Chains A and B, each alone.
Chain A
Amino acid sequence: MHNIWLIAKREYLERIRTRAFLIATILIPLFMGAFVFGSGYLASRTRSSAHIAIVSTDSSFSADLRHELQTGKNSGMTVEVLTPTSASNTDEIRANLDRNLQSKSGDLTGYLVVTPAPQPNARPTFTYIPRSAGDISTEDLLSTAIQNVLTREGLGRQGMGSSDIAALMAPVVIDTSKTGDSRAAFGAAYLLFFLMYMVIMLYGMNTARSIIEEKSSRVFEVMLSTIRPDEMLAGKILGVGAVGITQVGVWMLAAAALGSTSLATGLIGSGHALISATQIFFFVAYFIFGFLVYSSIAAALGAMTNSEQELQQLNMFLVIPLAFCFLMIFVIVRAPNSTLAQIVSLIPFCSPLLMNFRISLTTVPPWQIGLSFVLMSLTILAILWVASRIYRVGILMYGKKPNLPEILRWLRYS
């Protein structure tokens, strides 16, 4: 135990002192912040940038559309209404507007020409001439606004009062506060999944790399003359894992700090707690165990390879179980207590993601939770045992990439 502690401590201190660690730990929250604030800024920008001209003989329609575009949900455009007096006047106005669009100093984003339909009450046709052909968002906003105005006009013609129309057209809100927010649970599971995926790929691979490094720098022989290979692998997994947890912890704190700013709450919306304390507890517990399970696989991969390149070829062994879990998320979200859901959530490679997901969706019997932890612990020990055997024999036969029969034979060597 003392040796494992020494190895883990060295691994942790050496890694935490590196420049790469500092940069990643500081830069990623900075990027996160820039992303949150930046997207907030961009979102606020999209409201009021466009400057539109409407060319229409129907002055009440253009006034309604102007009102919709200036005060609508996503738009706060500057709108000019031009009412041509004759067909030749229309051409004149359009020529003027075209000149504005073509000149660099012009301030118009585009203009909309409304051509009334020949028969009354039929839809007019709309022509939009933008300054930039790629400006899809303004076009979308226009089309939504026109749709709204036309609907309102139509309802008005059917004799509906304006307050009734407003009530009818208000967005629908579904209240889920009584039953628990399945969207939030799903979101939390997704978040956990991607966090796990990222950390496992990053730090699991680091564990493997650190074991390969030991081989390429030939330190292992000194190490093995004092400690057992399983102590060494366990120390590496714990040390590298602690670095990963430190880093994720820093990021989480940064995220929490960001989340508490008013802008972020405004963006995320609801503001009420999405995740309960129990969920956080299981999140952390399953996160740690999941990390250990996957790190020990990575350690085994590191033990049987001699170089980074060989390792890359084998990292599918980490990705495939994770991808399988991802597929199972959809099965579980529909029926969290089905037999299939119960079985897959007990598979040690899947428990960290799937059992945790089930816990956030439904009430899981305590024995299943307990069993999942027991199975994960046994898996970790078994993988470590196999990995340390592969490691000990593998290092003495370096230079040659082992094939499966050879690895099986190594397991029998002592």
Chain B
Amino acid sequence: MPIVELQHVRKAYDTKIAVADLSFTVEPGSMFGLLGPNGSGKTSSIRMMIGITVPDSGTVSLFGQPFNRDLLKRVGYLPEERGLYKKMKVMDQLIFLGQLRGLDATIASKRAHDWCDRLGITPSIDKKTEELSKGMQQKIQFISTLLHEPELIIMDEPFSGLDPVNAVLLMDTLVDLRKQGRTILFSTHRMDQVEKICDNICLIHNSHLVLSGSMREIKSRYPANRVLINFTGNDSFLNHPAIHSAKNYGGHAEIRLRTSGDDGADAQSLLAEAIRTGARITRFEVMEPTLEEIFIEKVSEETGIPAGEKVHA
């Protein structure tokens, strides 16, 4: 039984189509990444999963049942635009949000204290929320999402606006939660962040689904045709026929090979060519394409025009 299931969901605001015919499922206990550039329809999709908006057509199911508000007690939701009561003290705020999700005040208080310990914000719990830094506020909101121990955690851009240390801290926390058997769905426009932690992904672009499936399966669909070379000396090997495109930054080249059936043979012959022409190699790495590269390739395939080099803003 999938935890989240969207079937042919469509949502339009006035003339703008936010989500067009989106279908995917999130399996229990998995980490699911909803990816796409800004304005691609991620937030609109998520809002329909938690009933803030209703799809124009198509169905949303949670925990194997058609959406109803009672199911929300089992969901923890972190919106993209963080919001807390500014004048409220941190602990009061957490207890209040816990109570709204059906917790008893004492249980909410205990769990809130535990979480504050874990994320290192205990010294601030008696302060007013507005006195805290943005990162701290984000941690508080993160905690408020998890207080009622939801089976399904939905987070919209959870890592945006965090410094690298805190982003890793939250990412590790999410990985821990998944180990405990929770199902996690989050959205992000930073595709590089999720490659390591997601089991399954769904890529959307311009309200349309571009790609979905398990991370491993998607990656295996795309051969390792990226080569990174650090070199000194002659760069004439960059004209090798196996090269589809190359960017030469002078001593550092990023190369995309023509996709060919025999795995790795092109890279071997490129290396041989470089050595033969007298380049001195300090690094030679054959890589899988990144998710971002796959995304760009996929989008340009579908639209027939090459997508921008940089996908994220």
In the complex, whether A133 has a CB less than 8 A from a CB of chain B is no
Whether A217 contacts B50 by the Cβ 8 Å rule is no
Point out the residue from B81, B96, B141 that lies within 8 Å of A10, measured CB to CB. B96
* Beta-carbon contacts under 8 Å, A208-267 to B: 217-228
Q: Are B13 and A397 in contact (CB under 8 A)?
A: yes
Interface residues of B (CB under 8 A from A): 13, 47, 50-54, 69, 72, 75, 77, 79, 81-88, 96-97, 99-101, 141, 144
Which residues of chain A have a CB within 8 Å of any CB of chain B? 3, 6, 10, 14, 18, 217-228, 392, 396-397, 414
Is there contact, CB below 8 Å, between B69 and A222? no
Q: How far is the CB of B75 from chain A (nearest CB, A)?
A: 7
Q: Kindly identify which residue among B53, B87, B97, B144 contacts A14, using a CB–CB cutoff of 8 Å.
A: B87
**Additional A-B contact list (13), CB under 8 Å, known A222-B97, A226-B101:** A3-B100, A18-B87, A217-B83, A219-B83, A219-B85, A221-B52, A222-B79, A225-B75, A225-B77, A225-B79, A226-B72, A227-B100, A396-B52
Question: Are B100 and A217 within 8 A (Cβ)?
Answer: no
- Interface pairs A-B: 4 shortest CB-CB: A218-B83, A221-B79, A219-B83, A225-B77
Report A30 CB to chain B, min CB distance, Å. Answer: 26
* Closest residue on chain B to residue A231 by CB atoms: B100
Residues of A within 8 A of B141 (CB): 222
Closest to A226 in B: B100
CB closest chain-A residue, reference B148 = A226
B146 CB to closest chain A CB (Å) equals 13
A397 to B101, CA, bound (A): 26
Could you tell me if A6 and B99 are in contact, using CB atoms closer than 8 angstroms?
yes
Q: Say yes or no: A222-B77 contact (C-beta < 8 A), given A14-B85, A14-B87.
A: yes
- Write the chain A residue with the least CB distance to B101: A226
Min CB distance B53 to A, Å, is 6
Q: Given A3-B100, A10-B96, A225-B50, decide whether A220 and B83 contact each other with a Cβ distance below 8 A.
A: yes
Chain B residues within 8 Å of A396, by CB: 13, 47, 52-53
Is the pair B100, A223 in contact by a Cβ cutoff of 8 Å? yes
Contact assessment for B96 and A217 in the assembled complex, using a CB-CB cutoff below 8 Å: no
- What residue of chain A has the Cβ atom nearest to residue B100's Cβ? A226
A68 to chain B, nearest CB (A): 64
Asked if B83 and A221 make an inter-chain contact with CB atoms under 8 angstroms apart, the answer reads yes
Give the complex CA separation of A184 and B88 in angstroms: 46
Please indicate the chain A residues that have their CB under 8 angstroms from the CB of B97 in the complex. Answer: 222
- Whether A225 contacts B82 by the Cβ 8 Å rule is no
Known contacts A218-B82, A221-B83, A223-B100; A14/B52 CB under 8 A: no
Whether B52 lies near A224 (C-beta < 8 A) is yes
Contacting pair B54 A414 (CB below 8 A): yes
B84–A219 CB distance below 8 A: yes
Nearest CB in chain A: distance from B18 CB, A: 10
Q: How far is the CB of B195 from chain A (nearest CB, A)?
A: 28
